[in-house]
Chain A
Amino acid sequence: MVTMEGVRRTLGPGVVFQCDAFHAAPGERVALWGPSGCGKSTMLNLVSGLLRPHGGVVRVDGVDITGLSGSRLDAFRGERYGFIFQTFNLLSPFTSLQNVVLGMRFADVVPEKEWKTRATAMLERVRLGHRLHSRPGTLSVGERQRVAIARALVNRPKLIVADEPTGSLDPKTAESVMALLLELCAEEGVTLLLVTHDRAVAERLPRMHDCTDLVKETVS
């Protein structure tokens, strides 16, 4: 599902991200673990096409995304990816339902007539059927992350990229959110790449990829 070969990206003077090889099979759930600043988020950005590599190949679902034009990459990202962020990144002027609908509106992979029913069903799956019309500011942090999970999964993407999804949650909430995320990814058969610096969180996933040595300082 995801392959990185000889991927290289200069991050600053004398600082280089280097990933010689990485592979995640379809439906696999992989934790990208490492300390802060080790390059795991950079790896996630390269996989999701938010950053372009300066060398090497990134393949997602069989497509070399490094060769895609900006607009093709936008469309590809909308179709194949679901994003979950540490700070939820819900759009504050919109309700839970509208946030999930927006996920479909911009991805443009689901017919418009299905948006509302599908978004409602997805929010019910994350146990927020009673909060459809609540704005993010009125939700608890756990509820916000569940809305974000619903938004990420509503398009039935091939790949979920989650950057520290429990980083802003208390342990109890983090536990329930992780359980929900893993359960839904397993049910949907979606590949999950989850970035975390928390080893305990990483160990909950079937596979842990150590990102400790991704960023290197070059000697000039």
Chain B
Amino acid sequence: MSLWHVAWNYLWNRKLTTAMTIISVALGVALISAVLTLREQTQKRFEEEGQAFDLVIGAKGNPLQLVLSTVYFLDAPTGNMSRADFEEIAKLEDVEAAFPLGMGDTFKGYRIVGTDRALMDFAWGDRRPYELEEGRYFEEAREAVIGAAVARDTGLRVGSSFISTHGFVDMPGAHQHEDKPYTVVGVMRRSGTPNDRAIFCNMESVWDAHDHGDAEEEAEHEHEHGEECNHDHGHGGVRADITAALVKLASPALRFEYKDKINRQYNAMAAIPVNEIQKLYEQLLGTAKAVLLAIGYLVVVISSMSILIGLYMSILQRRRDLAVMRALGATRGEIFGAVLIEAFWVTVLGIGVGWLLGAVVCYGLGVYLVAKLGFHVSAVALGPDLVTAYSAVLLMGLVAGILPAWQAYRTDIARDLAEL
């Protein structure tokens, strides 16, 4: 019978107290697990998607807004840029591929993205984010290819028609382009990317939907929509404009050079998607992560105190048992070790239960992220930050066990056998 067995039996002998202590450790660990896992996983997924293109180019404004609106379809675009500038940039020496984007409308909240047919064949590494599940790609104006989440949530199938809504938020009374319906010609395979939540068509479709002919009609359009129109009118309504462009360079090493070049030489703004996401995580989300982690560690510190108090009370209650063990020949070191092992068991079980709880929380939030971002995140990833955090929790648990173990170490056999 090992000391591990002895320690386990004593814990099992006071199941309720042990369970409560384990749960308190688990709550702190679950919070730490969820924060670190979601942070790591979402950043990883954001960066993976951000790596697909080296640059995004759009109207001057906030680079993060540009990236979020064009790569992740999350924010409103910064405005329009000149199509002529785009065509010039596309011809630059190190530009391998450049795809225009035109945005301005949605269907049931899903963004309609006008682009070149060539984007649908885009692949990077072994990933083909625009692969079809059924049907074909768009060829004519007002033909649409829809993402897997769009198909699932709206019921649209190949052959279905739909009317687009003006603007990026689906709100009652928003202008609908009833005279220019779209026909679904293809449904994309689920890719676990923002494409799952998008509707793709050619640029003609976007221009058509917003083709007001001249300045008077544009003004009338403004008047008609009034305040219900929540997008700026930098959408791709004028054929001389596009909303943004996605650019693939010959090498990622050229990103900064081309970003500076475009920002300096064109009336447009270039941004490096992966850099903007890293900045977002480091600056804004970094603070949120630090606050949540601090709360998690605080819970663990409080849990460590409950380990200390629980074990200390337990040692006081079984001074006679410890004295008997010493009388049977147990050394002071063995008694110290047995109590420390109890702290180890409680902490390790707390970490195990906390990890499971954290995985459940991550799974739940992952479902939300799939719906909101199209991102699939792993709920059970064990990254280096988590290993460090769990090690820190284990260390705290063991430190909490030292005082009770020391108390046990100092057992006075004769006094404890006589007094109790």
Q: Across the interface, which residues of B come within 8 angstroms of A105, CB to CB?
A: 1
Main secondary structure of the interface of A (DSSP, over half): helix
Chain A interface: which of B275-283, B395-403, B410-418? B410-418
| 1/0 contact string of B382-420 vs chain A (CB within 8 Å) | 000000000000000000000000000000011001100
Using a Cβ cutoff of 8 Å, how many contacts connect chains A and B?
Answer: 64
Do A108 and B329 touch across chains, with their CB atoms under 8 A apart? Answer: yes
Does A85 sit at the interface, judged by CB under 8 A? yes
Does A70 sit at the interface, judged by CB under 8 A? yes
Does B289 sit at the interface, judged by CB under 8 A? no
Q: Across the interface, which residues of A come within 8 angstroms of B1, CB to CB?
A: 98, 101-102, 105, 115
Does B291 sit at the interface, judged by CB under 8 A? no
Q: Across the interface, which residues of B come within 8 angstroms of A77, CB to CB?
A: 327, 329
Name A50's closest neighbour in chain B (CB-CB). B414
Decide: A51 near B414, CB < 8 A? Known: A92-B13, A101-B1: yes
Size of chain B's interface in residues, with CB distance under 8 A?
Answer: 22
Q: Across the interface, which residues of B come within 8 angstroms of A101, CB to CB?
A: 1
Name A115's closest neighbour in chain B (CB-CB). B1
Name B323's closest neighbour in chain A (CB-CB). A89
Contact-size category for A: 20 to 34
Q: Once the chains are docked, how many angstroms separate the CA of A93 from the CA of B9?
A: 6
Q: Once the chains are docked, how many angstroms separate the CA of A202 from the CA of B78?
A: 101
Does B218 sit at the interface, judged by CB under 8 A? no
Does A183 sit at the interface, judged by CB under 8 A? no
Within A67-115, the residues touching B (CB, 8 Å) are 70-71, 74-75, 77-79, 81, 83, 85, 89, 91-94, 98, 101-103, 105-108, 115
Name A151's closest neighbour in chain B (CB-CB). B328
Does B320 sit at the interface, judged by CB under 8 A? yes
Within A101-135, the residues touching B (CB, 8 Å) are 101-103, 105-108, 115
Name B331's closest neighbour in chain A (CB-CB). A74
Instruction: List 15 A–B pairs whose Cβ atoms lie within 8 Å, in order of A's numbering.
Output: A45-B414, A45-B418, A71-B331, A71-B332, A74-B330, A75-B331, A83-B324, A85-B324, A85-B417, A89-B320, A93-B10, A93-B13, A94-B9, A98-B9, A108-B329
Sorted from nearest, which 10 A-B pairs have the closest CB atoms?
A78-B329, A93-B13, A50-B414, A107-B329, A93-B9, A106-B329, A106-B330, A106-B328, A89-B324, A45-B414
